[in-house]
Amino acid sequence: MRVLAALSVSLIAAGCGKPDGDTAASRPAAPSTSVKPTEQASPTPRLALSYDGGVLVLDAETLRQVADIPLDGFVRLNSAANGRHVLVSQSDGFAVLDLGTWTNRHGDHGHHYTAPPKLTDIRFGGAEPGHVVAHDDMLTLFSDGTGAVDVVDPAKLLKGDTAARNATVTTPHHGVAVARADGTMVVSVGDEETRSGAVILDGTGVPVATNESCPGLHGEAAAAGGVLTFGCQDGILIVRGNDIRKVASPDPYGRIGNQAGSDVSPVVLGDYKTDPDAELERPRRFTLTDTTTGTLRVVPIDASYSFRSLDRGPKGEAVILGTDGHLHVFDPVTARRTAHIAVIGAWTEPDEWQSPMPNLHIQDGIAYVSDPAAQRLVAVNLADGATVAQTQLAHPTVELTGVSG
């Protein structure tokens, strides 16, 4: 309990019990664009694709390029879960990218607008920004280099409010945190060398539950009913309320490091690796964990895949982009493959995870698949497997996400 006690003290000292405290890293809101917005008849979803040197912004329906925003260095992308913004992870924190599409709600209807995308001057977090988690209408940002946790209200961000609630983990590490609607927060436990599990903290930073039987904790997902999962080198943690349960892998080393959840399914999709000595393992099995029954199923697949290959369909389908260039669609309950859709050419996961590689992003029932080798983006309707759009890209891209507008 020594680590947890120190964690609790640090969180209290940092003001975890002051939910209205603003982060020092945030900036006053500024107008997102100097160009007058254009009203549209319906929402205009857009996509963001990172490359070495910037971010491409595309119309999600036509795949027409809307903007090319230059940025220095390697960046990562995460949707801000408000239909308009994307968080850009840079070396010194999370920057807010306005994709220039949004809806102003008025009771039972809304007015839809577009404007030129731009990088705002709003920033959160600190050095080595890591995981971004959208859960319970909140965004939780973890900065690996400082151990800082910033909690942002995405709906308020949409209205120009850049305030963030702060908590600080004692030891910086490659971690993850999830704020919950009941005021509690789930935070990884670790240091610069290791990660051992997760702790649930109440609104004042006091630990209410812990489980340190999760070596190498990495990644998270949310299933139906607000249940959370965190991957381990030998299984997975399931967090339901204030209970943390460990489900072991069938192999002594059975690492689940990346997961994809769905709010309409109790089953979480995860990767699965079994070679502790491999610098880069190209797995041919994946996992389906039922958070209701606590059962973990290892499922074979006739292609390997990468950590950018996992996503969920609108009905909770488990979707994997294989190195055979196909989308493999599985029923998460039966583990039966229900579709096998050819999208791009065969590919190989690169040795460096930061290198361009195919990426899967599912939005409004459309699976978007990037093909950096061909500098191409393909959009596939998951309902019937039909290609609805494709385009050439100006750059080989790395990451892909989108907003609904």
What are the residues whose beta carbons fall under 8 Å from the beta carbon of 208, sequence distance 6 or more? 184, 200, 201, 202, 242
The full DSSP string for 201-266 is E-TTS-EEEEE---TT-EEEEE-GGG-EEEEETTEEEEEETTEEEEEE-SSSS-B---EE--TT-S
Q: Write down the pLDDT at residue 109.
A: 86
Residue-by-residue pLDDT tens, the chain, 405 positions: 334 434 443 443 343 333 334 443 444 343 344 689 999 999 999 999 999 999 999 999 999 999 999 999 999 999 999 999 999 999 999 999 999 999 998 878 889 999 999 999 999 999 999 999 999 999 999 999 999 999 999 999 999 999 998 876 658 999 999 999 999 999 999 999 999 999 999 999 999 999 999 999 999 999 999 999 999 999 999 999 999 999 999 999 999 999 999 999 999 999 999 999 999 999 999 999 999 999 999 999 999 999 999 999 999 999 999 999 999 999 999 999 999 999 999 999 999 999 999 999 999 999 999 999 999 999 999 999 999 999 999 999 999 999 999
pLDDT score recorded for residue 170: 59
Integer angstrom CA distances of residue 382 from 91, 99, 339: 36, 25, 9
* Nearest residue to 240 (alpha-carbon basis) of 174, 180, 151, 330: 180
pLDDT score for 34: 65
CB 15 within 8 A of CB 166: yes
3-class SS of residue 123: strand
| Among the listed residues 248, 229, 231, the one whose alpha carbon sits nearest the alpha carbon of residue 240 | 229
**Sequence letter at residue 226:** G
Residue 362: its pLDDT value, please?
Answer: 99
Which tokens belong to 211? 């489980």
Q: Quick one: pLDDT at residue 169?
A: 66
Residue 212 phi/psi, 5-degree rounding, is -110, 35
